[in-house]
Every structure is written in structure tokens, then in C-alpha cells.
Structure 1
Amino acid sequence: MPASELPSNVHVSQHPCVLAKLSQLRSQSTPPKDVKALIHEIALLVASEAFAKGLSSAPGPTDKTPLGFDFQSHQITPATISIVPILRSGLGMVEAVQTLLPAPVPVHHLGLFREPVSLLPVEYYNNLPNHASSTGGSAGPSELAIIVDPVIATGGTCAAAIATLREWGARRIIVLSLVGAAPGVRAAAGEWSEGVEIWLAGVDEELTDRGMLKPGLGDVGDRLFLTIGK
């Protein structure tokens, strides 16, 4: 889908390695071990593109190299960041984001599923307390929340997660996903257009009557955890 047909806060990767790896992930013949690795690798590439635009660098304290030379260190901003995987398939993308960030950040989990008849989101788990600061004690909601969820289908789950994080007090949200259906991506992007940026590896045009992307990736949770969906 041409980028001009998507909202301005939606970004679809054109990285050739992302496109090739996404094709491998779509294939039904890709074994489970490779599915896990491909999700990690694609998430790493997409997150790298997102963070190049969504994070900034600020001067840190002066440090010394092993040879004793002084140098100016740099730290990323904003100062408080959280990773928010949507259970359960979002767990497959967490490590990629942690790998890129130079310091550990809190991971807060949201459990959401689509009711099979209405396809509307239902929240069954929410772990969004005031997280502990790096110096101990209590800190408020993160300035930046990073939602990780491999698939945006109808957009209802993503939009619900955005609404929950906004109510929690996050000032900005980055959504990292592998594939989204165009109507669902538009719906999610419109939930809080001024505060959300969505980054994807690819966009599909269609949904099946069961709310699955076409061609899509299949059920990512089942492929990751070797289970059979209900």
C-alpha cells in the first residue's frame, strides 16, 4: 500500500532486509525455531528505524576511555521509557527492543483478546503500576511507552492499548508491529494521532471474516508457542 494512503503517523519499512525476512516469516514452511528468530530480527530492524526518529540524544557525564582520554558520553531521551507487550505474541518482540536500548527499562504487560463474535477487545490483564525509578523509590508513568504486538488486525486491540496507556499518563507512544491490516492500522493511528507513531514491517489490504490478515502471518502466538488456537 502506498504510504500516501496511510495516516502521517504510520511508517512502513522499505528496508530490503525487512521485506525479505517478512516474506520468510509469512511462509507456512518456516519452522518454529526460525519463526522466533525472524520475529526478533524483524522487530530489531523496525525498532531501529523507529528509534532513529522517536528518540533523542543528550550529553551525559564526562568519562574516560581505557587509554585515559576524556570523552563526552551521551544518553538517550526521554528519561523514562517502558516496553508494553500485548500478551501473548508481543512477548516475542520484547528482547529486540531491550537489545537496542542502552539501559534496562521496565516491561509492563497488557492482556487483551478479541471477543470471537464481535471482534471487540477485552482486557483480562493490566500490569501498569507506577514503576520503580533507576535510583529506587517510585516514579510516575513513563514519558514514552513502546507497545510491541506483531499483528494489527481490526485495530481494536491496539487502539484499546493506546487508550489505556494514555489514561495511565504516558506522554508519547510508539507502536512496533510486524504486519497490519490497512483499515485496522488507520483505526489505531487515529486513536491518539498527535501522541502515537506506528511503525510496521508491512501492510496487508484484507481481513478474513474471522478478523485474520490476508495473506498475513497466521496466528503468531500459536506459531511462537507451538499451540493450537481456539
Structure 2
Amino acid sequence: MHIHNLSEKNSILNTFISEIRSVSIQKDRMRFRRNIERIGEVLGYELSKALNYKLVSVETPLGTSSINLTDNTIVLCSILRAGVPLHNGLLNYFDTADNAFISAYRHHKKNPESFEIIVEYLACPNLEGKTLILADPMLATGQSMVATFEALKPFGTPKEIHLVSVIGAKEGVSFVENHFDKTTHLWIATIDEKLNEKGYIIPGLGDAGDLAFGEKLQH
């Protein structure tokens, strides 16, 4: 797997990451969502450098200009609900992409420290031969990303796969690395050290879905 950890180089991205982590700033839900969206835009820009391009002629009022434009047929898939702001940021840059949405959540059994990933809702176009961008803001254990991809397989085999996350744990990165083809790209804003006993990223930022949209009742 090709891992692109954007935090390895300093950029304005550091500001957006610091604000989504801050316990005071993240209380502003609108700002939290916008920061996730902005991170999605940065990740989308970096991802665009790995796409295919072809030379196209563009007519201007005064003549003709030649420019390389992306030649990929993109399907952007996000995991609900936390993935919506990240999806919007990516869609701001890949505005002609087809879109897929899937719900995946942790179902805790008797032991609150163990869980399984449940996929319930899925809407997806044909993926055959296309460029799949699979977005999930928090790459904790990596199980949601893998379960989502398994659910997408009946819709066709993508030509290439790009995974996009805001914050990940080393365990989650290793998990997806072992479950996706070596040609897959992972674009991630930053990678944290570990998970706690409940499978949440440390230091992380908390629950991205709750911070963006409000607390939810547990299953």
C-alpha cells in the first residue's frame, strides 16, 4: 500500500488538525464540520496528483488553450454519518464524481470493549473499471473501511482505490494495509500512536460523528 501521511510535512493543514482536536474549538459544531471539510479539500488536492491526465484543448474568447485534465471516472464513497463533512470537502474538488453512501457502525455486544461492524444502508453506482475514493474520517481499527469495501464488491471491480482519512491509529493503518491490494493508496492527514481499550484513537479528537452532528443513542 502507498501511504501518504500529510503530517510529515508542515503546511496550513496543521491549523485545521489542531482546531478539530482542541476541546474548546471543537465545541463549535459548524466550525468542526468546516474544518473536516477543509481537510478533505487538502487531501483531495494531494490525491489529485496521483490521477491520470490527458491533454485537452479549451476554447477561450481569444483563442485556444491546451491543458492536462483528469482522465479518471471517479466514484466517491463515504461512510455515514461522520463521513459527510469529509465527503463534502472531497466533492468540492471532484465535483463531477459519482457518489456512493454506506452506513457502518460499531455494534457492541455484552462486552463493551468488543464490537462488530454492522453495514445497513448502501447506495452505489457501478464501480467496474472506475477510480474508487473511499472516505472515513477516523481510521481507528480499520474494520469499518474493510467492511465497507467488502460490501461494495458486488458493484464491480475498481481500476484503482484511494482511501482517505483525517486521523488514523497505527493499528488501523496496519490493518487496512494487510487487507487492501498493494497498489491501493492511503491519503491521511495525520497518524496517532495507538488505540485505547475501547478501540478509540489516542490522542485523537473524540467521536467525529457526535462532534459534527450531536450525540446519538447507543445500539
C-alpha contact (below 8 Å) 1:83/1:106 kept by paired residues: yes
The question of 1:41 aligning with 2:38 is answered yes
Q: Which amino acid aligns with 2:49?
A: A
Question: What's the TM-score once normalised by structure 1's chain length?
Answer: 0.83
The question of 1:70 aligning with 2:64 is answered yes
> Is the alpha carbon distance of 1:17 and 1:63 closer, same or farther for their aligned partners in structure 2, counting shifts above 3 Å?
closer
Partner of 1:217: 205
Partner of 1:122: 118
Partner of 1:57: 53
Picking from 178, 184, 187, the partner of 1:190 is 178
The question of 1:29 aligning with 2:29 is answered no
SS at 1:107's partner residue?
strand
SS at 2:99's partner residue?
coil
Which residues of structure 1 form unaligned runs of 5+? 1-7, 131-139
C-alpha separation in 1, matches of 2:133 and 2:96: 13
> Is the alpha carbon distance of 1:195 and 1:122 closer, same or farther for their aligned partners in structure 2, counting shifts above 3 Å?
farther
C-alpha contact (below 8 Å) 2:119/2:148 kept by paired residues: no
Q: Which amino acid aligns with 2:144?
A: T
Equivalences, count: 209
Q: Which amino acid aligns with 1:36?
A: R
Q: Which amino acid aligns with 1:170?
A: P
Higher strand share: 2
Any idea what the Cα deviations from partners look like across 1:113-148, whole Å, max 9, x if unmatched?
A: 122243221111111243xxxxxxxxx635111111
SS at 2:12's partner residue?
helix
C-alpha separation in 1, matches of 2:198 and 2:146: 19
Question: What's the TM-score once normalised by structure 2's chain length?
Answer: 0.87
C-alpha contact (below 8 Å) 1:36/1:92 kept by paired residues: yes
The question of 1:173 aligning with 2:165 is answered no
> Is the alpha carbon distance of 1:81 and 1:196 closer, same or farther for their aligned partners in structure 2, counting shifts above 3 Å?
same
What CA RMSD, in Å, does the superposition of the two structures yield over aligned residues? 1.8
Partner of 2:99: 107
Which residues of structure 2 form unaligned runs of 5+? none
The question of 1:97 aligning with 2:90 is answered yes
Q: Which amino acid aligns with 1:159?
A: V
- Between the two proteins, what is the percent identity of the paired residues? 24
C-alpha separation in 1, matches of 2:42 and 2:169: 20
C-alpha separation in 1, matches of 2:180 and 2:20: 30
Partner of 1:134: none
